[in-house]
Amino acid sequence: MWHITLKLTDKVPRRSLENEDLKKEISACVWSDVLEPVEFEETWMGIMERYELLDVEWFVTMFQNRRMWVPAFFRDFPMGSLIRTTSVSECENSFYKTFTRPRSNLVEFLMCFDHTLAAQRNSSSKLDYVDSTIIPPFSTDLLLEKHVATKCVKVIPDKYYNGRWLKSSISKPVQVCEISVDAKQLAHNKVADIFFGYMQKVDVETIEAFSAAMQDFGKRIETDSTVLRYVEKRKTVDDFYFIGRPDVVEVHPPKVVRTRGSCNDSGSRIVSAREKAITLQSKPKRKCGKCGEVGHHDAKNCGRQKH
């Protein structure tokens, strides 16, 4: 709400900024904790009509989302549970900025911190004293209200207050939601209740026998599930091809060869004479021990090389 009301001056048209009562009326309407939802809607629409804001998109959007930010729609909800850690930190930062400086050293910061705590404790003590000694202003002129404030009543009867003012109301559920539980979860809960109910009545030997029986039953379930999954998978394939699987398979996939481009069983392909000559030329030359020439032969095959 603080961020929404902060944007109020930016969203109001220029023709309405001159009127100083606009912001006061909107703040009184929005921040009020005594208006009912119907009364808030009537007050809001009356303000929009008087200041010609019915066609402003931002105000239309805020009114459509009124159930998410206006306190009139949170009357039965504990507002203390809505505070966030960021809100707490912003409040603390704003409070300490009045006592500290950004360039203070550690000693100055500790002194300012102690002074801040002392000021906060003094303010709290002052409020406690005022709360215990001074009679607050009354909301009505009824003598009943003044009488209640001075007959030393310590406890208000239960029938005179709502549960939302209690500290314990935070722990209570705000609204009841219908939780959909599937049939499987309900069956699990039922089996667990039956199991733990009987386990408290029988002895250890009966529990061990029951455990062994459960293990055997679990193995049968796993076996049946495996067969069922195989049958379901086979049925799915048959439905896809619109034909059943034959009992005897006559056509099998061909054998996979180890090399490409060759059909012999040795696994090597035939090398051409050109490839042999290129491979021979790439080899380093050496001196023959028989004829003394430098070439691609040695003493073993000297005289047999081809030119």
Residue 290 one-letter amino acid: K
pLDDT of residue 265: 55
Q: Tell me what pLDDT residue 45 has.
A: 92
Which DSSP letter does residue 267 get?
S
pLDDT at 70: 87
pLDDT in tens, 12-65: 887 777 777 888 888 888 888 788 889 999 999 999 998 888 888 999 999 999
The predicted structure's pLDDT at residue 239: 75
Judge contact between 297 and 307, C-beta under 8 A: no
Please report the pLDDT score of residue 275 as a whole number.
82
Kindly state the tokens that stand for 296: 């691609």
Pull the structure tokens for residue 228.
């069922």
| Residue given tokens 């029938």 in the structure block | 159
Q: Are 88 and 94 in contact (CB under 8 A)?
A: no
pLDDT at 46 (0 to 100) = 92
Q: Which pLDDT score, from 0 to 100, does residue 152 have?
A: 67
Q: Say if residues 77 and 165 touch (Cβ distance below 8 Å).
A: no
DSSP assignment of 195-241, as one string? HHHHHTTS-HHHHHHHHHHHHHHHHHHHHHHHHHHHHHHHHHHHHHH
**For position 307, what pLDDT does the model report?**
44
**Bridge partner list, 286:** 295
Q: How far is CA 296 from the centre of its chain?
A: 76
Low-confidence ranges of the chain (pLDDT < 50): 170, 172-179, 306-307
What pLDDT does residue 80 have? Answer: 59
pLDDT of amino acid 161? 65
pLDDT given for residue 228 in this prediction: 63
Best CA proximity match to 47, nearest among 36, 37, 59, 38: 59
